[in-house]
Structure formats: C-alpha cells, structure tokens
Chains A and B, each alone.
Chain A
C-alpha cells in the first residue's frame, strides 16, 4: 500500500530538504558505526572462542596429561597458569561484548531516529483516492473475515488435537499409580513394609555370599559328607545353568538364586530347590550401544553373589547395574550405579540389612580418587538411604554383617583399611589400616573379633569395640605368612582357617594368632571355607570338597567330588548343599 501523509504547505522547502539530507547522512553514519561495532563484536566472539575455560584445548590437553601423571607439580602449576590466562581472556571478552552491546544499542537508536525523521521529512502528502476504497470498506468483508477466523479455528483445534494424540505425549497418569499400586512401579511395589521374615528364618537360610551375615557358618542341618557327582551318589538333582558366572548360589526356603552373563545377555535365575528346575529366569537389559565392562577372565561378567532379605532378591553386575526382583521373578526396580572404575572388574557381593541393600562400591586406582563409597539402598524402591565415601581404591572384597556386643556393624576390607560402619546411618565406627595391594578376601567375624588379611600383607585380629582409628589400639594380633589371595578366611571362636589359591590350608589360633597347623591340598582353591557343625567344608577348583574337623590339628573327614570345576562357594540350608560347578548347579543331600 502506498504510504502517504497529508499534504501540508511548507514555508521553507529548501531548508526542509537540507535537513532531510543531514538526517539521512547522520543515519548512515550511525548505521555504519553499528555495522563496525557489530563486526568487531562478531570477530571478538569468533576469535576468542578458545577463551572458554571449559573448552580450551590447551587446558584440556594439560589436564589429560595430569591424569596420567597426577603427582607432577610442575604440570599442575602450568595448568593453573593456563587456567588463569584463559579466565582473564574470558572476562576481557565479556567486558568487550558488554560495552559493544551498549554502543550498538546507542547507534541503533540514532540510526532509527534518523530513519524516522528522514521518512517524516520526505513523506509525500496523502490524498485518498475516491475510486479506491480501503480494504475494510470493500464488499464481502464479513465473508472473508468469517473464512479467516474459521481457518484459524481449524488450525487451533487441529493443533490441540495433534498434541493430544501424538504418541510421544501420552502421559502416565500418576493418580492411578498412587491409588492402585503398580507392581512394576518401584515406588509402589506390592511389598508390605515391615513384613520381613523373623531373624530365625533369615538364619535358617543362606541369603548371601558365605551365608547369614557373611560369617560362613552353615545353618543347622544334617549335611552329608559323602557324595559322588559322577555316580550320582547323594546328588539330589543337577541342573545346567545356561549362562556362565562365578557368583555363588544363595538360598531362601525352596528357591535358589544365582546369575549368569555374557557380553550380550544377563540373567537372574531362580531354581526350584525341590526339583532343580529353573523356576524363572529374568533378564537385565543392557543399554543399547554400551560397551561391556572391562573385566578379567577370572572375574567374569557375573561375579557378584546375589542377596535376599526374604522379600526380594537383589543382583549386581560389574557395570554397576543393580536390580531387585520379587520371588515371582518380577523386576521391582533397577538402578545404574556405574560405570565403575575397577581394574579387574567389580566383583563385590551384596549384603542386606533389614530391608536395606548394602552396596560396597570400591573403585579407582588410588584412594585419592575419592570415588569409593558404601551405599544403603531402600529395598522397596532402590533409592539411596545413605551413602558414605570410602578412603580406599578398588577392591574385590564383600561386606559382612557382624553382630558384635556393641551392636550390628558392617565390616569392610580394602587397601589399607578395615572399616566398620553403622548400618543405621552409614556412620563410620572404626577403622584399622594395615592392608595393602589388591585386596580380595573378605573379612571374617567371630566372638567379638574381626579377622582380615591378604597375601603379601598381614592377617590381623581386630576388636570391634573401638571408635575412630583403632590401628594402634584394637589390633589384638597380627600374623604373616601364607595368606589367601582370593578365598576368604573362616573364623570360629577358637580358630581361623584360610587357604591360599594354590591350596595351602592354614589354621591359626583365634586368640593368639599362633599357627596351629597347615596342610597342602595340592589343588587350587577359589572358594571360601564354611563351618558346618564341627567340620569345615572347602571345595577346590576341581570340584572336590575337602571336609576336615575344625580342630587344633588337621583331621580330614572326607573329600567327595562332583566331577566338575568349581570356583564358587557352596551354599548350605536345610541339610542340603548347593554347589555351583562351571556349568551345573548341584543339590547334594543324604538320601
């Protein structure tokens, strides 16, 4: 539409023209100024992209070097200097851009004012054309307006409908979840709080690695001492477990739980104790495109033994994924606590305290990494109840629960500390520092004393009534010699039994640390010894279980075998022994 204004007489046309030219020139100068400022700002913006402390290439490179050489003070100083320089440039650029913005704003105001004034001074007078009506006066306007409003209404309605029906926007209705608990929803899992089975039921089962509390004492029962896997003697059943795993079986009433994994699949199994049939097997999804965790072949992809609190069974894998299942195999929740930095692969087993799942996450190559922690997760939801940092690097031990005279304590072992935590809030109770290197044997507990040690260090007996650092005050005795690399020690009130990986079995006096006897089994051993009545059961890697008396002298009782390689520790419950071979799970009971 032509833009005209009222024609008005001008007293001094020449003066008006000169003014218009001046205004136009001023406007052009202002516009040129704005362009210059904008160009300079743009150039500064592009040129100093590297002045961001987060993305500066030099800084990143130096930091990467520091990661390889963390103690290099000169490198640290160089990074500080470079960081300071980058920050200085960063602030300079910000100041430059801020001042530029003000200049640009001022220039734009002048340019715009001149533009308006120029248009005002040079505007031609407006005279309406009698033959041409404005658009709003033309016939048929109402029809056009109705049509346009109709189209706008259709667009608005279509937009709302499209948003409502797009699959991506379909919403979970949380009112339904709150009103009717969904078994698949972690927060509303159909598990009644406070319905944990009584303690005697817990002690009757084999709910975690090395039995109740991890103390390696079998529940009462008439356990056989004689079986033969090849001939089937006293073998109640034998079930093939499809996926490999070094984790040990756990038992709750008539269910045995264990897991297996390959690089592409992870399964949690529930085996029927009565028949040996796999009652259910539930997968844990692997993130699409994720790389399998870096583990040693001896660690495998499923090394962590499961744990149960009698309501749910919990599983963990080396990438840090933790999941809970109910006893029907329904997954209740899953959390990713990884990735975990562990040079051989995370192999720590789980522990339950009431309805809390205790996860020991030791990682990093140095205790300065400050990445290690111990967590208590709510068994019903998986949420973190408490989390306590640990001053240790990666380890391969498993926590145990010690019922000490001063209360329940979670005992952990890693380089260099054995640390006790309060299960209620994760508070550290005491610590004793004497371990070193790669620590894999889990601690043992009996009669108010914790026993921990590993090869190339000492085995120490620690009283559990201390507070703070008890290294110098509560270590009753230390013993050196042939100490285990993988297998965990067994403590009774009177003895400490331990075995090295090559099979050297040692018995110490629990009170003094004096060695009572040693015996070479002449077979490699990965499993841990278990106290069964008055005997100790220890399975070597060929599948032979060495049964001997828990006494001051080595008194062998029997050495039955299953005829299959064994790396896991056997489970004991109700007079039955469950041994996981390389491929099969065996149930052994006196017939």
Chain B
C-alpha cells in the first residue's frame, strides 16, 4: 500500500510536468494574426490587505487554540483552512517564507519599495512567534499544512541527524538573502516545492521535489519545515524568547513519559542525560564553544569570500556577460542562445560588463557575510549544545516546537484538566 502510494505520487509528477508543455504557434503565413501574448493581471492590491488581515486573524486563532484552548482538533481544522485559503485559493503567494527575499532586496536596493502586504506577511508571524511561539507553523502556513496532512506513520529522527540536517535551513536562508540582495534572484520561490501543487502547474523538477518531500513527509514529520525552510530560522530564534511557550502539561510534569513519542517533529526536550566519564564539564564545553565561535565565523567568511566568483555566476547578467566575452574573445561562434540574442540585439557590451561588475561587487560584499552567517550558525549550534540546561521532566523545545498541539492529547494531566475519562488517541 505504502509503495503504491509513492508510485502514484511519482506518476502524478509526470502528469503535471507534461501538462506544462507549451503550445507551439502555427508556422504558416496565412495572414492570420497571432494574438499578442497576454499575462494574467496581477492580484489586486486590495487582496494583499485581505490576505494580511486573514493572516493576522489566523495567527490570533492559532495562538488562542494552542495556548488558551489547548485544542488539537481546532489546530487541525485551522490547518485545513490555511491549506485551502493560502494554498489552493491564493496559490501560495504571498508567502511569509518568500517574503524574506523581498525584505532582503528592499534592504539592499533602495530603489525597491517593499509592498505593505509582503511586509505584513514577513513581520506578523515573527511578532506572534515573539509572543506565542511558532503558531504560524502550527496551522497557518500552507507549506506546513500540506506536510502535516500527509504525515502518516511518523518515525523519530535520531538527534544527531536532526541537529546536522537543521543546519541546512541556516545555509538556505543565507543563500536566499544573498541571491535576493545581490541579484534580485528569488531562489526560495523558484524552488518552493509545494507551490506547484497549489497551482496545479509547475516545472517538472519542482513537482518532483515536492512529491519527494511529501513522500518522505509521510514518515518523517514536516521535512521541509525542519530541515529546509529558511523562515524557520528567525521563527526558531524568536520562539526561544517567546513570552508564552507551549507546554506539554498544563501543570507540573509528572514524568509519566506518555508523551515521549507523541511529537513527530522531534521537539520534545527530554530530561538531560547524565554526563559520561571523560566528558568535559559543561562550563568548559561552553567556553571552548565560545572560543570556537569567532574562529568559525572567520574561517567561513574567508571561504565565502573565496567563493564570491562562483556564487556570482548564479546571476543571469554575470553569466551573460561571461558568455558574451567568451564569444567575442574565443571567436568560436555562438556560446549560448542568450549571448547570441544579446549580440544580435545591438545592446551595449560595455554597459553589460558594467552591470556585471556592479553585481559582482555586491557578491564580493555579500559572500563573506554569508560565510560568516554559516559559521555563526555552526558555532551557535555547538554553543547551544554546550549550554543545554539540565532539567527534569518533559517540555517542548521552544525553538523546534511548531505548536501543533499533538502532545497535549497524550498528557494525563491535560486530560485531568479537561476532566475527560477517555482522552483522544494520538492523531498523527
């Protein structure tokens, strides 16, 4: 059954990819005037405000459901609403995750005006995270929702793998910001794995990526949110300082361990294990990690600087300039269709080179910062491991918890609170 489902998912990839094939224009010159290519009209500005208002309302409802009502089923219903509204109805755009790039571009390019709706989508989830934790992830984000709904039999990811893979989100965030700020290139949107499902149309590789993630997501809870999503990084960081945190038990934990496997996202903090023989004391570990932190920042900044040229080639203008230069210098005819078209257009080559130089200058500044950011993430991770506070009882990890409320249903204290004699079983 499981294999069948995976097979079907893969076949659907091929189907959607095929539907992307474009219709060629007739070749005959019969006097027929081919109508001009029409692009769909952009969304009305009013929709941005409607979306922002719906987002704010949904965040407020999520916070209320998680912190006040502690109601898993309510969160589940909100998830379905978010998927239908922000996903299938609004086609996954505007999206808080992609809004990172708009903000980065606005910060780097003073000529770019950040739309208010986009700003709202960027800021509101972060504000709510600062007060209520990741309630955005709980039931408002359509990307989280679609993964949450396909989750079937969750497996626990080993902590070492969880920690290693989660570093990728930091790297992806750094790259997304770098490319948006330096090149106006929105890679996070381009490689959004689920937007193709929402729109029922996407390039084949995007659909394939989404299908693979959903296939994995049947057994590993929210793989995109945990290991890839760049927006999870600021959400995670702000949630650590949130005013109200998700608690598994509404009162003191009785250490019954019944919630142990209730979280499919590895966000339950267990009682700290005893220190093993030969292991450095926590204070010393923390001191070492603190010393290592600037070293890592420096080393990775240097690596980023060394990679500035290669990374700048992500930019189309730089690639075009290189192709044009190659075509002009190596004299072997057409290097690429783009360079051929550029030369045929009669556009100025010096102006192209000047644009490429400006972009490369941005990369020369941005790549060391990106490298430093990666080093900071790694160093911070090591410091975080060293600073893990010893505690007793089971609590939700503030940064990792997506406030899905699954763990509530397993807690006998919670049941007692509700005075229910027959609590729900786990709804995965």
- Tell me whether A and B are bound partners: yes
Asked whether, in the complex, the Cβ of B425 is within 8 Å of the Cβ of A120, the reply is yes
Q: How far is the CB of B99 from chain A (nearest CB, A)?
A: 25
Q: Given A52-B21, A116-B152, decide whether A38 and B274 contact each other with a Cβ distance below 8 A.
A: no
Any chain A CB within 8 A of the CB of B171?
yes
Which residue from chain A places its CB closest to the CB of B4 in the assembled complex?
A31
Q: Bound complex: CA of A42 vs CA of B427, how far in Å?
A: 35
Considering only residues 87-131 of chain A, those with a C-beta below 8 Å from chain B are: 87, 90-91, 94, 97-98, 100-102, 104-105, 107-108, 111-112, 115-116, 119-120, 123, 126, 128
Asked whether, in the complex, the Cβ of B275 is within 8 Å of the Cβ of A152, the reply is no
What is the 8 Å Cβ interface bit string for chain B, positions 400-425, against chain A (1 contact, 0 not)? 00000000001000000000001101
What is the 8 Å Cβ interface bit string for chain B, positions 255-292, against chain A (1 contact, 0 not)? 01110110000001111111110010000010000000
Q: Bound complex: CA of A453 vs CA of B256, how far in Å?
A: 106
Contacts of A79 in B (CB 8 A): 28
Q: Bound complex: CA of A126 vs CA of B391, how far in Å?
A: 24
Stretch at the interface among A184-192, A350-358, A409-417, A552-560: A184-192
Asked whether, in the complex, the Cβ of B353 is within 8 Å of the Cβ of A9, the reply is no
Q: Given A54-B24, A105-B12, A186-B349, decide whether A140 and B258 contact each other with a Cβ distance below 8 A.
A: no
A137 touches which of B12, B16, B271 (Cβ 8 Å): B271
Asked whether, in the complex, the Cβ of B307 is within 8 Å of the Cβ of A134, the reply is no
Which residue from chain B places its CB closest to the CB of A176 in the assembled complex?
B357
Q: Bound complex: CA of A502 vs CA of B20, how far in Å?
A: 64
Q: Bound complex: CA of A570 vs CA of B422, how far in Å?
A: 109
Asked whether, in the complex, the Cβ of B8 is within 8 Å of the Cβ of A104, the reply is yes
Contacts of A285 in B (CB 8 A): 330-332
Q: Bound complex: CA of A31 vs CA of B310, how far in Å?
A: 46
Any chain A CB within 8 A of the CB of B250?
no
Any chain B CB within 8 A of the CB of A14?
no
Asked whether, in the complex, the Cβ of B385 is within 8 Å of the Cβ of A28, the reply is no
Number of residues from A at the complex interface, CB < 8 A: 104
| Among A4, A27, A160, A385, residue most surrounded by chain B Cβ atoms (within 10 Å) | A160
Q: How far is the CB of B410 from chain A (nearest CB, A)?
A: 6
What is the 8 Å Cβ interface bit string for chain B, positions 18-57, against chain A (1 contact, 0 not)? 1101011011100000000000000000000000000000
Any chain A CB within 8 A of the CB of B336?
no
Asked whether, in the complex, the Cβ of B328 is within 8 Å of the Cβ of A186, the reply is yes
Any chain B CB within 8 A of the CB of A166?
yes
Asked whether, in the complex, the Cβ of A149 is within 8 Å of the Cβ of B306, the reply is no
Q: Given A97-B18, A160-B303, decide whether A178 and B350 contact each other with a Cβ distance below 8 A.
A: yes
Q: How far is the CB of B107 from chain A (nearest CB, A)?
A: 23
Main DSSP-derived SS at the A contact region: helix
Q: Bound complex: CA of A79 vs CA of B360, how far in Å?
A: 51
Stretch at the interface among A255-263, A376-384, A436-444: A376-384
Any chain B CB within 8 A of the CB of A18?
no
A27 touches which of B1, B321, B357 (Cβ 8 Å): B1
Q: Bound complex: CA of A431 vs CA of B131, how far in Å?
A: 80
Which residue from chain B places its CB closest to the CB of A154 in the assembled complex?
B378
Q: Bound complex: CA of A104 vs CA of B23, how far in Å?
A: 24
Asked whether, in the complex, the Cβ of A34 is within 8 Å of the Cβ of B422, the reply is no
Any chain B CB within 8 A of the CB of A78?
no
Any chain B CB within 8 A of the CB of A287?
yes
Asked whether, in the complex, the Cβ of A138 is within 8 Å of the Cβ of B329, the reply is no
Considering only residues 49-106 of chain B, those with a C-beta below 8 Å from chain A are: none
Q: Bound complex: CA of A105 vs CA of B18, how far in Å?
A: 16
Which residue from chain B places its CB closest to the CB of A27 in the assembled complex?
B1
Any chain B CB within 8 A of the CB of A142?
yes
Asked whether, in the complex, the Cβ of B378 is within 8 Å of the Cβ of A163, the reply is no
Q: Bound complex: CA of A197 vs CA of B218, how far in Å?
A: 76
Asked whether, in the complex, the Cβ of A157 is within 8 Å of the Cβ of B300, the reply is yes
Q: Given A139-B273, A287-B332, decide whether A163 and B8 contact each other with a Cβ distance below 8 A.
A: no
Asked whether, in the complex, the Cβ of B309 is within 8 Å of the Cβ of A171, the reply is yes
Any chain A CB within 8 A of the CB of B371?
yes
Any chain B CB within 8 A of the CB of A161?
yes
Q: How far is the CB of A178 from chain B (nearest CB, A)?
A: 5
Stretch at the interface among A204-212, A217-225, A331-339, A457-465: A331-339
Stretch at the interface among B120-128, B155-163, B240-248: B155-163
Considering only residues 368-411 of chain B, those with a C-beta below 8 Å from chain A are: 371, 374, 378, 381-382, 385-386, 388, 410
Any chain B CB within 8 A of the CB of A164?
yes
Q: A45-B14, A173-B357 are in contact. List 12 more A-B contacts (CB 8 A).
A: A31-B1, A38-B7, A123-B425, A128-B256, A134-B261, A148-B163, A153-B378, A173-B309, A178-B357, A185-B353, A188-B353, A331-B331
Which A residues are within 8 Å of any B CB, using their own CB? 1, 3-6, 8-9, 27-28, 31, 34-35, 38, 41-42, 45, 52-54, 76, 79-80, 83, 87, 90-91, 94, 97-98, 100-102, 104-105, 107-108, 111-112, 115-116, 119-120, 123, 126, 128, 133-153, 156-157, 160-161, 163-166, 169-175, 177-178, 184-188, 284-285, 287, 321, 323, 331, 333-336, 381-386
28 of the cross-chain contacts (CB-CB < 8 Å) are A4-B261, A6-B410, A45-B14, A53-B23, A97-B19, A100-B15, A101-B16, A101-B200, A123-B425, A123-B426, A126-B258, A135-B159, A142-B385, A142-B388, A145-B160, A146-B385, A160-B374, A164-B308, A169-B313, A172-B325, A174-B356, A174-B357, A334-B328, A335-B343, A336-B334, A381-B328, A383-B346, A384-B343
Closest 5 CB pairs of A and B: A171-B309, A187-B349, A334-B331, A164-B307, A169-B310
